[in-house]
Each structure stands twice: as C-alpha cells, then as structure tokens.
Amino acid sequence: MRDYANLLFEVASGVGIITINRPKALNALNYDTLQELNELFDQLAEDQTVKTVIITGGGEKSFVAGADITAMLPMSAVEGRKWAKFAQAVFNKIENFPRPVIAAINGFALGGGCELAMACDIRIASEKAKFGQPEVSLGIPPGFGGTQRLPRLVGKGRAKELLFTGDMIDAAEAYRIGLANQVTAPEDLLNAAKTMAQKIMTRGPVAVELCKAAVNEGLDVDLESGVAFEAEVFGLCFATADQKEGMAAFVEKRKAVFTGK
C-alpha cells in the first residue's frame, strides 16, 4: 500500500481503518482525496486479508465537513457535473464494496461528509458528531448522492426538511431518525466500530457479502424482483462450505468456524 497525502491507512486484526486526514480543512474532500479513496478501495477489493473497513476523520472536530468549497467556487457547469459524477462513482464503489464498510463519525459530517457516511453500510456516531446537508446555503443541491441516499435512510419528509433547511442535527437526533445506527462517547467511538466489525467477522463472510448485495440490489427494484434476487443468493449459499459448517455447528452445539468458502 503506498503512502497517501490525504489518507491514513492501517490494518488491525483484519479491519482496515481509513482516516480522511486533512484536519486543517476539517477533512473536506478535494479531488486528490477522492482519487486516493478511489484507489485505496480498488486495492482493498483485491486484498482478501482486510475483512471489514472503517472510515473515520482525522483530528478532533470533523469526520468530513463536505466537498472542498474553495475548489468548487470557480467551477463551470460542465466541471460541476463532472465533479459530482466522479465523487458519485467513488461513493458507489464504497456502497458496493463486497465487504462491510462502517463509518465512525467523530465530528462534522456535512454535505459530502454526510454523503460519504451514507454510502457506508453502518454509521456509528460520537456524541460530538453533527450531520447535515447544508448545500442550499451555498446555492447548490447535494451532488454526491445526498438527495437519493438520505430519503432512502430517513424517509422522504425528514430528508426534504434536512435538504431544504440545510440544518445541522446532533448525534442523538441522527440516531432518532435512523441516520446513525449507534451513538457512543467520543473516546469509545473507534472501539465501538471495531467491536461491530469483529462481531460481523465471526459470521459467515459469503452470507454477509450476499446480505449486502441483496439489500443494495433490492432497494433499487420492486419487491418481487428483490425477493427473487434473495432466493438466488439464498440458494447459492448452499454451495458453500460455510453453510455446511454453520448448520453443523448449530446441530453439534459448538461455535461455527467459517472460512469464507
């Protein structure tokens, strides 16, 4: 893995931890940072030793305070569209990454930061986290998936309120409306994310991967197509050693040891 200018990356016990690290700009996403995230996820897709990924923000204050406003100020319409398409492709890659991705939200998750968190599978928030889509205050709508993922997570009405007002909400409110899965004390945040990652890693890896694929696929199609896809992945699992092991372990009253095969 190469050194990145705007990211830190470490692996501990099968969990890859990505820290978006531009604390002077509250980890705002510029082109280079997005490009680095894109490259890192391409590499992780090939690296089977990393079983889950956590994304967090460097410094005390911020997860990611949005797309880099200084970089966007002079953009033309054509450049703005290209910028949104590029970031959307990176976030789609994260959303469809075959293993779980957990956002550990340590502070501001605004604009592109909230959108990055929503592209992750699970969001764990520090009590200090603040969420919002403040783009309308800048004269733009969200461009990195916010108008699509926010209503899917919290419902149309709440999403529209957040999108139209640009208001920030705290971690407790994010939890209440289903934007955050869990809220922790700031000092416990990374451990809570690691604990969640480790728990998931004791389950059947192929089953987890296919759960992710079925949820992602199913939310984009009608219910009948979604459950049809579920039947296919359900059947597929009966061709895995993990299914035999998981069920044998239950019958033999012991803990399953999965191999991901």
| Contact footprint for ligand CAA (CB under 6 A) | 25-26, 28, 65-70, 108, 110-112, 115, 134-135, 138, 142-144, 146
Of 60, 127, 135, 252, catalytic? 135
Compute the least distance from the CB of residue 63 to ligand CAA, in Å.
Answer: 10
Q: Is 135 a residue of the active site?
A: yes
Q: Is 115 tagged catalytic?
A: yes
Question: Between residues 70 and 76, which has the closer beta carbon with respect to ligand CAA?
Answer: 70
Encoded tokens for 152: 């899917």
Active site residues: 115, 135
